[in-house]
Structure 1
Amino acid sequence: AGDAGDAGDAGDAGDAGDAGDAGDAGDAGEIHPHESPWTMTLPLVALAFLSLVGGFIQLPFSSSTKRLEHWLEPATFHNETHLHLSSSTLWILALLALVSVAIGIGVGISTYLKEKIDRQIFEKPSLVNAWYFDSAVSKFMGGSGSKAFTAVAKFDKEVIDGAVDGTGQIVKKTASILRRSQNGLVRTYALGIGIGAVGLLIWFLTRTTL
């Protein structure tokens, strides 16, 4: 009886362990926003650095700071459009851009790092599902698109390939018939010459009578 009780306890412990493993697997399978691997992060960092370089070589505050514009002038043949804005307007626009960037960064930190803002506000179904583009492509490829591609493949096989193969068969059969006349016998060639001569004679006679 004691052994049976121990076995029951061991079974309960095993079931509990399995349940715990299942719970861990469920937690591991849950998806959260996370940093990309270095294979994606490194190109993004490089692009961010180059965007800073592009901004510094094309500052809109004076003609001397517009190095990129002057460098591209030979390619644009001096046909670029110029916006005549005052320095104060340019500074205001630059500050508005920086403030917008700061607000975006702050909202992102508050939402995903500090979790003070409910992420569901931004993670709409259309955004979570990538504007339903992938599902639309999958539905098309598995439905009407697949039928259309099958019809095109059938048309290519039966009509296009059929016409090409049919032409080849006609040429092959015609060649096999004509090959019989190429038997190497002198009398066969003499017969051909005679038939040709008679044909030419008939043609000349019909031409002269007309």
Structure 2
Amino acid sequence: MSALQIRKAPRQRRAVHTVDALLEAAALVLEADGLEGFNTNAVARRAGASVGSLYQYFPSKDALTLALVLREKRKFHEALVAAQALPTCREALASLVDLSARQQLTRPNLARLLDQEEARPEFRAALGDGSNFRLVLSAMLAMPGAPAHLCEDQPRRGRAADDLAAMIRGMTDAAGERGERDVDDLAYRIGAAVFGYLAVPPRQM
């Protein structure tokens, strides 16, 4: 078994509650003590559980960290699915921008530290290439109300999705690193960049 894999999946309600409590305790320890104070003893203590209980599910601190990253990604993905269900490109993109700002600044210390851990090579290998965000953006750029030149040109739409993904990620990460706290202001600025980009006429080939 990989040191990054959960040791066993919780099945009974009590086990699910225990794992949820351990993951939230891990988030709280990271927020309060940073990576320097993050260890399995501290997490178990914060969760009110024994270290032995923690090791029943997580064979290492890294496995716990990866599970926490996956928890945050799962919540974000569920919100993205809801955004994709909106009727127009503009509404969907505005929702995605708001989600991105909230994910980064609602718990900024946690988001920043998980971003840092996610950049480690072994974590990148376990998490995949992160293409889902770009695919969601590309799908939104084909929705009603999207610029016609993107709806009609798949390669151009793909490049636009790559550009927008880079803009959104870059602006949210930079805001987190600067210690910003105003979610609405960040969402406004990202929205201005996204919709300003889309308003530019296509370059004639």
TM-score, length of structure 2 as denominator length: 0.22
Q: Which has the larger radius of gyration?
A: 1
Say which structure is richer in helix. Answer: 1
TM-score, length of structure 1 as denominator length: 0.21
